Amino acid sequence: MRKKFLIYVIVLIIFLSNGLIFAQQIPSSPTLFNTLRSINASNGQSGEIVVKLTLDQTLPVTPVGVSLNNPSRIYFDLNQVGSGLGKNYQETLEGDLRSINVVQVGDRTRVVLNLVKPMQHDIQMRDNVLLVKLVASPAKETRASPIRIVEASSQKQINTLRDVDFRRGTLGEGRVMVDMTKTNANVDVKQQGDVILVDFANTSLPDNLVRRLDVLDFATPIQTIETTRAGDNVRMVVKPHGRWEHSARQSGSQFILEVRALSNDEEEIEKRKRATGGYTGERLSLNFQDVEVRAILQVIADFTNINIIASDSVGGNLTLRLKDVPWDQALDIVLQVHGLDKRRAGNVIFVAPRKEMADRELLDLEAQLQIAEMEPLRSEIFHLNHRRVNSVSFEGMLSKRGTITLDEISNTVTITDIPTRLTEIRKRIERLDVYERQVMIEARIVEAVDTFSRSLGARFGVQNATNLGSQGLGISGNLAGSSTLAGGGPNAGPNNLNVNLPAAAATGLLGGPAALGLSLMKINNGRLINLELSALETDNKGKVIASPRVVTAHGIEAIIEQGDRIPYQQATSSGATSIRFMDATLKLKVKPLITYNGQIDMELSVNQDRIGAPLNQFLPPPINTKQVTTKILVENGGTVVIGGIFGREENVVVNKVPLLGDIPVIGHLFRNTVRVDNKRELLIFVTPRILSETMNIQ
């Protein structure tokens, strides 16, 4: 009996000692003096919305509500009050009140009223019932009352600003960073007109920080930052410019005020956020003093309705003050402060320390490698329809035990490997073994010619015969005619004009210019004065069109050419001569590339050569060359002008008798005038079209 009694006493002592140790390890939960039992919302007689909160006991201090915009919310905290509702979310259908969120963190319960639009509120305490009246805000009010990031502390504490710094963010936002000595300092942020006022309660400011910072050169919305003393407080005045919005947060002893510019197009802002990996979650505000990280994660989970699973090793406390920030940014801030990381799969977010997360992923990879080394092998034959087997690379696709066999005759690939690798290879072959798209390129070379010429001329003649004493004198258009007239004979020969400057005949036209002959005067004894006026006007318009067309595959260069080859003699090093051929052709060379969005990128070269007129009988004819080489991007079926040459030739030629041709009016009889105005224009049009698998135009 004595031995049994001693054994019983020893067991009892061990049990009690273990119980005491266990009790020391369990943190003591805060003592709650009051409990929230119910929440009801109804419409009042005057059109206001009344929210009724029933508690077990009367609150010693009526809570102060805080209004937030974007989205519109009103929240207030119930100190030393626990939640007995059994749920964190309650949907309402009363006017502009959408829903109510209730979150308990430690010995404090926060009630959030989610609104459709900003509203004014009034909070009253009647016995154990807390009444919140919501009234629509007047239209002229655009901003809510000052937003408090941290509520006033019940105990007066002294804080000191250690440093005030400014930095420019990656997206051009301005960041004012304030380093303080206390982690639980009271900070009040509000907007007054065009400036932002930041008040640090019960805070001292060293002399070297009483200054005004001009940060306009940083190219941010913030122009100046002025920090001054205001009694026992410190006031900071931040003056931005333009259209902007601000947000503030506090982590530990550091306070950060961020001001960013607003764009006129909100859609472009969202695109820029997605492109730069920005935060797009719904905005929230957090105000916690030395609260467990797990409790903050629970608040975020209740706010977003997303499942958050925290590892057993996640612990520690955090003092966090965030105002109107996206919830995903708030989650990243909490994780960064405590060295945590997250992985998301659908509607579940797993949170764990970074090292634990990395070790777990490493174990998963090692397990996959072991499965790959032990998994049985399988063989599969892949038949390629459009590609040749030697044109497809399988490098890096096989495992250590995988083998591959290519059969060019049947155009098949035989692969032996584990099932997972076979699945990846099958997907790759499906992506690569596709129809090679074809492109038809049509080029139109249009050469327009517009020639104009005008020629004016005259022929003038006088015939006369007289005697000077015993000698005869004759006047005619040539010497033979003059001697005949002087001898008393008739005029001989057709060329008997004194001035012979008729209009010139146009090149390539049959016949000559139009002419008008007149006998102006007849004198006795056969004396005549003859005049012949001639004129010619030529207007020629022509158009030459060449349209080479070629079909080629994606990324394959194609050439189409038509024309002549002209032989040339050239000397060799031995002294003999050899024959060299030069091309005078119409040529189209193109290499098309089909882009992902269906456009066509082309490297293009167009030539139009012609054989020119020979210079002389000893030299071969020259080659007139027109060429365009370029790289363009064209839509499917679109037409683009890739080149153009415009030439104009103007000539004025005057043939005249000196002195006589300069006489006004009469001078036209002694001169010939030719005017030439030739225009030539070359345009090259290109139209690419993508062909379908059946060789039809898409």
* Residue pLDDT, tens place only, 565-579: 888 777 777 777 788
In the predicted model, what is the mean pLDDT of residues 274-295? 74
Paired with 233 in beta bridges are: 230
264-303: b or e for each residue (b if 16 or more CB lie within 10 Å)?
eeeeeeeeeeeeeeeeebebbbbbbbebbbeebbbbbbbb
Residue 461 exposed, middle or buried by CB count within 10 Å (0-12, 13-18, 19+): buried
Asked if pLDDT for residue 13 goes beyond 50, the answer is no
Counting DSSP H helices and E strands in the chain, the numbers are: 7, 41
If phi > 0 it is left, if psi is from -120 to 50 it is alpha, else beta; for residue 551 that is beta
- Angle formed at CA 576 by CA 573 and CA 577, multiple of 5 degrees: 100
Residues 208, 209, 210, 213, CA torsion sign: positive
Sign of the CA dihedral with 570 first, then 573, 577, and 583 last:
negative
Rounded distance between C-alpha atoms, residue 393 and residue 406, angstroms: 11
Using the predicted structure, report yes or no on whether residue 276 has a pLDDT greater than 70.
no
pLDDT band, residue 482 (cuts 50/70/90):
low
Using an 8 Å Cβ cutoff, are 385 and 404 in contact?
Answer: no
Q: How many Cα atoms are found within 13 Å in the side-chain-facing hemisphere of 498?
A: 17
Instruction: Concatenate the DSSP letters of all residues of 273-291 into one string.
Output: HHHTT---SPEEEEEEEEE
Residue 30 has a pLDDT of 46
Could you give the CA distance from residue 201 to residue 208 in angstroms, rounded to a whole number? 19
Residue 593 CA, chain-centre distance (Å), reads 22
pLDDT at 237: 92
Q: Quick check: pTM over 0.75? A: no
Query: Is the pLDDT reported for residue 300 higher than 50?
Result: yes
pLDDT-derived band at 227 (thresholds 50, 70, 90) equals: very high
Q: What is the pLDDT of residue 452?
A: 82
Q: Is the pLDDT of residue 347 over 70?
A: yes
Determine the pLDDT at residue 464: 67
Nearest-10 crossing angle of helices 327-337, 293-304: 160
Length of the chain (residues)? 698
452 burial (CB, 10 Å; 0-12 / 13-18 / 19+) is middle
Give mean pLDDT, residues 116-129: 84
More confident residue, 410 or 92: 410
The gap from C-alpha 682 to its chain's centroid, in whole angstroms, comes to 36
| Cα–Cα dist 205/63, whole Å | 31
Q: Tell me, what's the pLDDT at 226?
A: 92
Q: What was the pLDDT predicted at 611?
A: 83
What's the one-letter identity of residue 652?
Answer: V
Contact assessment for residue 567 and residue 605, using Cβ atoms and an 8 Å cutoff: no
Q: What are phi and psi of 416, to 5 degrees?
A: -120, 115
Percent of the chain with pLDDT strictly greater than 90? 3
Distance CA 344, CA 306 (A): 10
pLDDT of res. 155: 44
With a cut of 50, say whether residue 97 has pLDDT above it. Answer: yes
Tens digit of pLDDT for each residue in 422-479? 888 888 888 888 777 888 988 888 888 888 888 888 877 776 666 666 666 666 666 5
Helix H or strand E segment including 616: none
Q: State the pLDDT at residue 225.
A: 92
* pLDDT above 60 (res 2): no
pLDDT of 20 above 50: no
For residue 36, which of 57, 21, 50, 22 has the smallest C-alpha distance? 57
Interval 608-619 mean pLDDT: 79
> Cβ(404)–Cβ(415) under 8 Å?
yes
Q: Which of 60-64, 292-296, 512-516 has the lowest mean pLDDT?
A: 512-516
Tens digits of per-residue pLDDT, 657-669?
888 778 887 787 7
Work out the pLDDT band at 11, boundaries 50, 70, 90: very low
Reported as a single tens digit per residue, the pLDDT across 584-601 is 888 888 899 888 777 888
Find residue 76's DSSP bridge partners: 111
CA triple 631-636-638, angle to 5 deg: 75
| Mean confidence (pLDDT) of the chain | 77
Written as one letter, the residue type at 500 is N
Give the pLDDT confidence score for residue 14 in this predicted structure.
41
What CA–CA distance (Å, rounded) separates 302 from 247? 22
Please give the DSSP secondary-structure letter assigned to residue 695.
Answer: S
The structure tokens listed for 452 are 């104009």
pLDDT at 479: 58
Cα separation, 436 vs 434, in Å, equals 6
pLDDT greater than 50 at residue 154: no
**Integer Cα distance of 257 and 499 in angstroms:** 100
pLDDT for the residue numbered 238? 92
pLDDT digits 0-9 by tens, 22-50: 333 333 344 556 888 888 888 776 778 88
